[in-house]
Structure 1
């Protein structure tokens, strides 16, 4: 049963509980209404007649006994209790809370782990928390290597949130050559935002002066964008109602902030996504199949702890695939340093162990599994991804 089927099963169990609860609630309300109605009738009779109130209460008692609220509610409440008792079991079966079963005693470089955690905190602008973490782990090298990297970026991004582009423009101008090498037009985008910001305030002459000063160097490759910006000058007093109103969208600021973050991290040799976030996201995705595998491996913890390679594939989405991999089409095993991919003279690729097995360790030629070519194992070349 895959994850989707498990989630559908959970939803069905939840729907059953919700349906039983609704029926029980409806029945309870119906019985309560009957009781309230009889009590109101009794009160009216006591207030409007000369009947002895004892006889009225006796009649009320008789009516309530006929209504038999406990008997009426017993059936629906019992069905609800049964559904409620089954639902937690379904939850526990599908969403196993004991994730420690997938734990393996793997040695980690504590310095690298500390650096990843500190880097995440500093990326978020949580410098005080990051400093506290560094003090707790006693890894001063991490503080020196990571805090300064992200403090400037955070200050620039905070300024952008306040619609202050000066720090971003200064950084982009200083690193303009590197940004060009990366194929980024961040500096032009920042100038565009500043130009529109000036024009939005009604300072048309100042906007023209700004354009002449800052857009000339971009004319060769970005003339259409610059021409559109010049068109804004015709609507300087009503830019909100002009064909260029989209330039005022807050989304433009978000896009620039994202691009600045990406380029800033790139120039620092850091990944755009936090390594800690990526690791946790990938781990959450890979955890269910590992837990299922451990259910099969029950009683073989020692074997699990000593495995160098998992016997089952753990599929991750494309965003978590950073390196090319090769799976041998014959053995169905992923290549390793000891069992690398080998290209045969015909151009097809198998893992080294498969070639050795088919050629009897190079003692004879063999036929390629995918074409009629006869293969000499000594002519196979190792591939490096």
Structure 2
């Protein structure tokens, strides 16, 4: 017993020594989190924001995110718990019958409903210039090629499905037909080995996601995930500005009323709408101050137009043309 106890103590001591570096790293994790993540967002978000209509909008965004990810059970449970508006649930149930297959298609190709879905939606997909149906036929043709010698005749017969797509995908069809020459020698050791790449299925899933969302008028990316990514970019900058404002004791600089103290660049990925700034007033146009196109073709803001009116006439600030202010047309970007 004494020998066993000694052996156990030695083993424990050796383990503690071997894992000393790991334990020291783990012990610093908490301090690193506290140092790099500020949980106090009171200075960034108005205090009443979650007690108004925005809270309901956030709940609906979370529910839509779960529906869009195919997590129907989670979304329905959240609807019951949060007492979300019932019409939103019904809209998603009606519109996402096909879309909900996306998460499962990423993991398995068995019993795939996509070919029948693409055929039943052929006309609307054609209006979107979608290549989904062709990609599905190409994938099936490649599966036949992967079967090796003895599949030539079946592959040739199936190649007739490519006829409707010949004018748009001629080069890709030529490549697939040329691969038949190397079928007896094995495609893995041929110039056509790229046809056996697993990325074809991933491309089909991405195309289906894009096209299905386009048909239903839904964004490809979840609005919640996009907002979260934008927040990860914007919050560190806002936290730094908050610290500077508190340090210099100029709290009145930032009033939180739909404005930011500085310009924050989120990158091209987060650009969804065009922005027009009035060249006269140097202000960004809004719904209440829209851009106006003059007869001469120059564009200014509504406020600038009103300030330039003299004696019931308007002289364009960029050319000598005089015109009636009522002839200006509001633009929508």
CA distance in 1: counterparts of 2:241 and 2:300, whole angstroms? 28
Is the Cα–Cα contact under 8 Å of residues 199 and 233 in structure 1 kept in the other structure? yes
- Deviation, 1:195, is 0.8
Counterpart residue number, 1:23? none
Q: Does 1:103 align with 2:45?
A: yes
User: If you compute each CA radius of gyration, which structure gives the higher value, 1 or 2?
Assistant: 1
Structure 2 residue runs of 5 or longer lacking an equivalent are 1-27
Alignment partner, residue 124 of structure 1: 69
Higher helix share: 1
Structure 2 CA distance for partners of 1:176 and 1:359, relative to 1, 3 Å: same
CA drift at 1:349? 2.1
Q: Residues 365 and 235 of structure 1: is their aligned pair in 2 closer, same or farther, counting only changes over 3 Å?
A: closer
Residues 152 and 358 of structure 1, relative CA distance in 2, 3 Å threshold:
closer
After superposition, give the CA deviation of every residue in 1:174-213 in whole Å (9 maximum; x if it has no partner).
111111110011101111011111220123332222223x
Asked if 1:191 corresponds to 2:137, the answer is: yes
Q: Which residue of the partner structure matches residue 278 of structure 2?
A: 328
| Map of 2:190 onto structure 1 | 242
Go from structure 1 to structure 2 and tell me whether the alpha carbon gap of 1:383 and 1:313 turns closer, same or farther (over 3 Å shift): same
Whole-angstrom CA distance in 2 between matches of 1:311 and 1:357: 27
Q: Is the 8 A contact 1:169 1:187 kept in 2?
A: yes
Deviation at residue 276 of structure 1 after TM alignment: 0.7
2:302 alignment partner in structure 1: 352
Segment of structure 1 superposing worse, 111-120 or 149-158: 149-158
**Structure 1 counterpart of 2:11:** none
Q: Superposition RMSD on alpha carbons, in Å?
A: 3.3
User: How far apart, in 1, do the equivalents of 2:141 and 2:103 lie?
Assistant: 19
After the TM superposition, which parts of structure 1 deviate over 6 Å for at least 4 consecutive aligned residues? none
Q: Look up the SS of the partner of 1:172 in the other structure.
A: helix
TM (norm. structure 1) is 0.65
Quick one: distance in 2 between partners of 1:111 and 1:96?
25
Q: Is the 8 A contact 1:326 1:341 kept in 2?
A: yes
Aligned pair in 2 of structure 1 residues 279, 156: CA closer, same or farther (>3 Å)? closer
Higher RCO (Cα < 8 Å, 6 or more apart)? 2
The residue correspondences of 1:70-81 to structure 2 (distance < 5 A) are none
| Structure 2 residue corresponding to 1:229, chosen from 161, 171, 176 | 176
Question: Which residue does the alignment assign to 2:78?
Answer: 133
CA distance in 1, matches of 2:153, 2:169: 22
Q: Quote the offset at 1:326 in angstroms.
A: 1.1
Aligned position for 2:212: 264
After TM superposition, give the deviation of residue 146 of structure 1 in Å: 2.2
Question: What aligned pairs does 1:78-93 form with structure 2 within 5 A after superposition?
Answer: none
Deviation of 1:333 (Å): 1.2
CA contact (8 A) 2:315 2:323 kept: yes
Q: Distance in 2 between matches of 1:270 and 1:323?
A: 16
Alignment check: 8 A CA contact 2:292 2:328 kept: yes
Question: What are the equivalent positions in structure 2 for 1:204-219 lying under 5 Å apart?
Answer: 204-212=152-160, 214-219=161-166
